[in-house]
Structure 1
C-alpha cells in the first residue's frame, strides 16, 4: 500500500503519486471554492441587516405610494389601491416642481459653500502647528458631533427675534433696525439661517478628510516645485490639487446626498415656513403625508425624491468617470518618460 511505501522508504506503485504532506490536505479545487465563497459569507450579516432595516421600509413605502391612505382608511383597516394616481398627481402639480427646483438650488449652493470652506480649512490644518491644529480639530469634531436637533435649538436661540444674540450684537454695532428682526419671517432670511446651520455642521467632515489627504503628499514634491519657481498658487494647482481631487469628488458625492435629503435642519427651524416657502422635497413629503394625512401621496413624493436623487448622482458619476477616462488617456498619450503639462 502507499502508506507502507512511505514508511519503509520503498517506491510507490507505478502510476501513483508519492504520498506527501501536500497530498494529505484537502483538494486544491476545494480550497479555491472555499476562498471564493468566504467573502460572500462574511457579507451575509451586513446584507441581512440592510434588508431588514432599509429594504423593508422602502418596500412598505413603495406599497403605500400606490394606495389612497388617510385616517379613514387607517381606522377602518381598508386598503384602497389607486395605481399610479399619487404619482400622476405629484408630477402634474406645479408645487412639486417648484419644491424640486428649490431643493436642487438649495443643495447646489450649500455644497459649493461647504466644499470651498472645507477645502480652505483643511489646507489651514495642514499649515498650522501641532497645538493649534489640535485645537482647531477639536472644535471641528465638536461641531460635527453635535446632534442636529441640539444644533438647531442653539441656532433658534441665536436668531430669535426678541432675545436672540445675533440681533443684540447687530443692534450694538449700530444696526438699530435689526434689534427685533424676524429671521424666520421671510423665505431668504429663513434659508440663510438653515444654510448657516448646514454649513456649520458639514464643513468639519470635508475639512478633516482633506487634511488627511494632504498628509499623503510627499514634501519632496513641494521642494521640487519651489526649485522650479512655483509660488503658492502654482504649488497648490500642480501638486496639492491633483492629490486632493479624488477626495474632493467623494466628499462632494456624499455632501450632495446628505444636503438633498436634509430634513431636521429645515423642518426644525420653521417647519418649512413661512407659508411653506422653505420646504424642500423631504419636508414637502412629510407635510403632505403626515401633516395633511395623505399618507399615500407623501409616500409617492418620497419615492420620487429618491429617484431624483439617484438621477442627480448618476449624472455626477458620469461626469467623474469621463474626467478619469480623459486623464488616463492624456497620461497614456504623454508616454512613460514625458511630463504631462
Structure 2
C-alpha cells in the first residue's frame, strides 16, 4: 500500500509576521503608552504625599510621645507608647465629645441635604432670569470665606447690638432683648448649625440642579401620558436619576461637617464651658490650648480613624442599596 503525500508548492516560502497589537507598535512603545497615565499622575501624588502624607505620619509619631512645652523647648523626645491612647479611650470626655460630634454631623447633614435638594429642584423649575439670579446668590454665599461668614453671624446674633435680637423685639418678643445666643449649649449649636447649613446649601443645590439637567424630557412626557402626577414623576423619574448624585454629595457633606473646626471654634471656641466642642476642636484645645501636644495628636489620629469608619459604613450602605436596585 502506497501512501501519497502532498508535495508543498515550489517557490519561495512566504513568512507571515504577526504584528504587535496597537497598529504594529513594538512592545517598548506599548509599555511606554501604558505608563504614561501613571507618569502624568506622579506630580499630583508626590504633592499629596508631601503636604498630606508627611503631616499625617508626623502626627502619628507625636501621638506616641509625652510632648509638652518643656520637651518642645529643650528638644527632648519622651516616648510613652500607647499611654496617650489609653488615657483618651478610658476617659469619659472623648466618648462624650464623640457622641456629640456624630449627633451634630447627622443633624447638619440631614438639614443640608433636605434644603439643598429642595433648592436644586427649585432651580430646575424656575425661568431663566430667576434661575440665573438665584445661582448668582448661591455662588456668592458659597464663595464667601468661612471666617468672614462666621464673623457676620457673630454680629447677627450679638447679645446687645445683634440684628436678630432687634428684629425679634420688633415682632413683639420683648424677652429676646439682649438675649445671649452663645450663652447656652443648644442656642450655640443652633447658631453654628444655621451657619454651616447656609454655607453648604449652595454646593448641594448646584450639584443636584446639574443632575436634573441630565434627565431626558421624554421620560417626563411618558410619565405624564401614563397619568403620573408631580409626586409620581419625582419618585419614578427624577429621584432614580438623582440618586447617585445624592449619595456622592451626602458622602462629601459628612466629611465636611464632621471636620467643621473653623465654624465651631470661631463662633465660641467650643463654649460655653466646652459644651459645644466637637472632635477637631477638642483635639486643638487639648493639644495647642493645654499644651499637651502628644495628647492632641492622639485625639486627631482617633478622629481620622473614626471618620474613616463612618464613611466606610456609609459607603457599605450605598453599595448594598445599589446592588439591591
Q: CA RMSD in A?
A: 1.7
Question: What is the CA–CA distance in structure 2 between the aligned matches of 1:74 and 1:32, rounded to whole Å?
Answer: 54
In the alignment, the residues of structure 2 paired with residue 96 and residue 191 of structure 1 have an alpha-carbon distance, to the nearest angstrom, of 19
The partner residue of 1:155 within 118, 130, 153 is 153
Corresponding residue of 2:301: 303
Query: Alpha-carbon deviation of 1:324?
Result: 1.0
Distance 2:164 2:259 in 1: 28
Who is 2:282 aligned against? 284
How far has the Cα of 1:64 moved from its partner?
0.5
- How big is each residue's C-alpha offset from its partner over 1:110-129, in whole Å with a ceiling of 9 and x where there is no partner? 00000000000000000000
* Structure 1 length-normalised TM: 0.89
**Mapped partners of 2:258, 2:16: distance in 1:** 66
CA distance in 1, matches of 2:214, 2:321: 22
Residues in 1 aligned to 2:166 and 2:142: alpha-carbon distance in whole angstroms: 27
Q: Distance in 2 between the 1:17 and 1:260 partners? A: 65
Instruction: Tell me the distance in 1 between the aligned counterparts of 2:24 and 2:272.
Output: 71
**Does residue 1:219 correspond to 2:221, yes or no?**
no
Offset, 1:34: 1.5
Counterpart position of 1:109: 107
Please give the alpha-carbon distance, in whole angstroms, between the structure 2 residues aligned to 1:112 and 1:218. 28
- The offset of 1:28, in angstroms, is 3.2
From 116, 119, 144, the counterpart of 1:118: 116
Task: Show CA shifts across 1:38-69 (max 9, x none).
Answer: 11111100000000000010011000000000
Superposition map of 1:191-210 within 5 A: 191-210=189-208
Q: Structure 1 residue 79: deviation in Å? A: 0.3
Residue 60 of structure 1 aligns with which residue?
Answer: 58
Counterpart in 1 of 2:251? 253
Report 1:132-171 matches (<5 A). 132-171=130-169
**Structure 2 vs 1, CA of residues 214 and 27 (structure 1 numbering), >3 Å: closer, same or farther?**
closer
Q: Which residue of 2 aligns with 1:321?
A: 319
Tell me the distance in 1 between the aligned counterparts of 2:16 and 2:224.
66
How many residues align? The count is 313
Does 2:169 correspond to 1:178? no
1:35 to partner: Cα distance: 1.9
Task: Return 5+ residue gaps in structure 1 as ranges.
Answer: 1-12, 328-341
1:216 alignment partner, SS class = coil
In the TM superposition, what whole-angstrom CA distance separates every residue of 1:7-38 from its partner, at most 9, and x where no partner exists? xxxxxx756569x9x99x97432232112111
Show the counterpart of 1:4: none
Tell me which stretches of 4 or more aligned residues in structure 1 moved more than 3 Å.
13-18, 25-28
**Aligned to 2:169, what secondary structure does the other structure show?**
helix
| Match for residue 235 of structure 1 among 233, 236, 241 | 233
Instruction: Pick which of 29-38 and 104-113 moved more.
Output: 29-38
Instruction: Output the CA distance in 1 between the equivalents of 2:26 and 2:317.
Output: 44
Structure 2: how far apart are the matches of 1:177 and 1:301? 41
Whole-angstrom distance in 2 between the partners of 1:46 and 1:159: 42
Classify the secondary structure of the residue corresponding to 2:43. helix
1:145-200 deviations in whole A, cap 9, x for unaligned?
A: 00000000000000000000000000010000101100000000000000000000
Show CA shifts across 1:256-311 (max 9, x none).
00000110000000000000000000000000000000000000000000000000
The partner residue of 1:33 within 31, 34, 37 is 31
Taking the aligned partners of 1:206 and 1:30, their CA distance within structure 2 comes to 47
Secondary structure in structure 2 of the residue aligned to 1:174? coil
